[in-house]
Structures are given as structure tokens and as C-alpha cells.
Amino acid sequence: MTENEHQQVIEELQTLINDTQQTLTQFEEKGMDEEMPADYERLLGILDGAIKQQREHTLAMLSE
């Protein structure tokens, strides 16, 4: 991947991270984290995966 491609993926992942964090906050505010724990855990998994992927792309871009 080129540096520009890495940067584009990093930016798209940041959008996903922001959206997921916002959804998690809404879940918590409405008590859905307790009512729907499996869905809450899936959201946490999405957030974790996006952060890890973003880190990988950042490191790859910096090593080029």
C-alpha cells in the first residue's frame, strides 16, 4: 500500500472509531449495556478491532 492509501484507511478507521464510541456512550446512557450485554460486547469488539487495525496501518506507513 502507498502512504496515501494507508492514510485513507487510517482516516476511515477513525470515523468508525468515533461512531462506535458515540454508540457505546448512547448504549451506556440508556442502560442498554445492561439490557443487551452481548450487543454491547460486540460494539467493544468492533472498537478494539478498529483501533488495532488503525495502529497496524500507522506503523506500516511510518516504516515505509
Say if residue 5's pLDDT is above 90: yes
The answer to whether 39 touches 16, Cβ cutoff 8 Å, is no
Question: Which domain does 58 fall in, by range?
Answer: 3-62
Query: pLDDT tens digits, residue range 24-50?
Result: 999 999 999 999 999 999 999 999 999
Distance (Å, whole) CA 11 – CA 34: 31
Say if residue 64's pLDDT is above 90: no
Angle at 13 between CA 7 and CA 14, to 5 degrees: 90
The answer to whether 47 touches 13, Cβ cutoff 8 Å, is no
Give the predicted TM-score (pTM) of the model. 0.91
**What is the chain's Cα-based Rg?**
14
Work out how many domains the chain is built from and give that number: 1
Say if residue 57's pLDDT is above 90: yes
**pLDDT value of residue 37:** 97
